[in-house]
Amino acid sequence: MTDGPVLVVDDDNVSRHVLLQALASAGIPAVAVTSGSEALRDIDKVRPQVVLLDLVMPPPDGYQILRILRARAETRDVPIVVLTALDADDEIARAFEAGADDFLRKPFKPVELVSRVRGQLRLRGAKDELARREKDAVVVTELTQALASNLDFRGILFTVVQRIAEVAKVDRVSIVLVREGNVGYVVAASDDEQLRDLPIDLAKYPEIQEVLSSGSTLVIADAATHPVLEIFRSEGHKIAFASMAIMPILYEGRAMGVLSLRSRQVDAFGERELSMCRTVASAMAIALRNARVLQSLRDQTQQVTVARFEAERRMRSLQRYADFFESSGDGIVVIDSDGHLHFSNPRARDITGYSEDELRGRKLQDFFENRELAEKLGVGFAKGVFPKGVDVRVRRVDGRAVVLNVNFSSVLREEGIVLCSFRDVTKEREVAAELVKTKDFLQKVIDSSVDGIITADLRGTVILFNRAAERIYGRSASEAVGGRVHSLYPKGGATRIMKMIRAGGGRVQGVRTEILDSMGAVIPVLFSGALMYEGDTPVGSVGIFTDLREKMQMEARLQKAQEQISAQERQAIVAELAGAAAHELNQPLTSVLNYALLLRRVLDADTPGASAAEVIASEAERMAEIVRKIGKITRYETKSYVGKQNILDLDRASEGGRGEDHPRGGGGA
């Protein structure tokens, strides 16, 4: 059950909706059921990749569903993530004991839910891939063991192609060998056990010719449209199979024949099947070669004997170098033209862990993890090519892999003898790899910094220019690196900064300065910098720049706002003073008006006192008008007194002032 959607099992409508929405937003297909019984009923139909299971539900609850699913062979391996609002750890432990793979507490974050589900999908995918690889490895081992056996080789070839057809689920698998000219021989076919050495004209099989000439696998997903078969189709021939996969059987870089897979279905070949068949084809090449070698072994016996005596003679000539080899700090082995080891010094045996007898006679490629490299070296030796400083991974006798740095050289006056010296550089290569990882990490940290970071050597040449520096300066790192650091500052700026760093004991922090962008515009920055040392010797400098343009713009806006507030405060103070003055004038003005009116009533109209009272009343009325205007400006109100004059209403003004933050009134008129 690995191809279906995520199955959500939850009796709560809101929870189901949230779960489905979160999964849909992440592009994960999902279906939901409302009870445990519904989940058990539909699980075989849904075939879920993952089950999201609520623990607390009406019977059967989440714990019962867990036990049932784990007891069934069809659902035993389906990943189950339990959902619970319970905080008790023993409930979680109980869920894991019942078979849960993971848990998620409610309420949950959608991103956490998606991460948990994807984690289970990756884990399940890895398990399935491992199972497939194990299955393929069993098949490959079975077939390679069969090819390496001493039984009837013809029968073995039929068994191999029949087994490949069964595993790859194709209609026909055949082996075609090329012996001479344009003629091939079908030596085995999965659908005909009696077929042996059937000659075919390769001109009628352009797909086989293509593979033999290129030495590469050819996959024809659709034979009706593939260009390789165009000539075959144009002649009106009927193609029996819809798709094909032909891979070369290579030995020492030469194609001995092909392994051909044919299917009546279009696009029938997956990478897994092709990979397995390539491995079998490689093993088959060796087996076919060995079969030919066995046939001619008797004829070569005499030649081998002569070669052995010649090798022994050569080894005797090398004996005079034995003392030097024995005391060497590097491992030294002597190999012949076929790659067999004939001599090893103590250091070589110490590095590899093998004894002298275990090394003698073995082939060099037996120790290499990369056997192709060993074969290439052998081909190079035959051409007189002896590499220096080659890193090779080999297996010690205890199975531990080590990295050896190897030098090869020929021995003077001894044709076919190769001297191989090496030393263990495993730790050095591990340290180098860690340094590369650390460098990459630091580079990522530098590139992710929001501040510009620039390093330069003591000659003023820019060495590093991070992304933030590119943004601040408006120029790319490729333009800046290798240039002069002085071009990044106004005239004399770089020299002034370096003096400050040296005066500060090798570092300076939080200094406001200016730089120049790519257009020559001045940019204000906050600078921190320091000298870089190797031991006690300064070798360069590093500077960190914080762009202050936005900060200064913010400060300008803040200053303008503060000035506006100050102006408003001054206006408010003037208004308060005017209101206070109106308030102070209100009471005596009222008294003057009242006394003036009283005098007008008690004095005769033609008397000097009456005229004075009239003047007093007139001036008091003019003053009342002024007070009214002040009250209007300061939002104090007036009311009518004697006559038609409106005098400041301190009662209402004081009440309004309390509600609107106006100056409070004292007495009333």
What is residue 461's predicted lDDT score, i.e. its pLDDT?
93
Closest to 404 measured CA to CA, from 428, 435, 381, 437:
428
pLDDT > 90 fraction of the chain, expressed in percent and rounded: 3
Where b means 16+ CB within 10 Å and e means fewer, 638-664 reads beebbeebbbbbbeebbebbeeeebbe
- In angstroms, the Cα distances linking 563 to 552, 576, 661 are 16, 20, 22
3 state DSSP class of 26: coil
3 state DSSP class of 264: coil
State the Cα–Cα distance between residues 586 and 135, nearest whole angstrom: 107
State the Cα–Cα distance between residues 579 and 584, nearest whole angstrom: 9
pLDDT band, very low/low/confident/very high, at 398 (cuts 50, 70, 90): confident
The model's pLDDT over 587-626, given as tens digits with 9 standing for 90+, comes to 787 888 788 888 877 887 778 878 887 888 888 888 877 8
Q: Are 336 and 313 in contact (CB under 8 A)?
A: no
Average pLDDT estimate for 481-506: 88
Average pLDDT estimate for 20-45: 87
What is residue 78's predicted lDDT score, i.e. its pLDDT?
87
Average pLDDT estimate for 75-87: 82
| Helix-then-strand count for the chain, H and E | 21, 23
Q: Are 100 and 82 in contact (CB under 8 A)?
A: yes
Q: Are 452 and 466 in contact (CB under 8 A)?
A: yes
E-state strands within 41-127: 50-54, 80-84, 102-105
State the Cα–Cα distance between residues 250 and 213, nearest whole angstrom: 12
pTM for the whole structure = 0.33
| Domains of the chain, each with CATH number or no CATH | 6-131 (3.40.50.2300), 149-295 (3.30.450.40), 303-429 (3.30.450.20), 449-547 (3.30.450.20), 560-660 (1.10.287)
Q: How many CB atoms lie within 10 A of CB 432?
A: 11
Q: How many CB atoms lie within 10 A of CB 140?
A: 20
Instruction: Report the run of H or E that residue 238 belongs to, with start and end.
Output: none
The model's pLDDT over 175-198, given as tens digits with 9 standing for 90+, comes to 888 876 678 888 888 888 787 778
DSSP string, 7-21: EEE-S-HHHHHHHHH
pLDDT above 60 (res 147): no
pLDDT band, very low/low/confident/very high, at 208 (cuts 50, 70, 90): confident
Q: How many residues in total does the chain contain?
A: 669
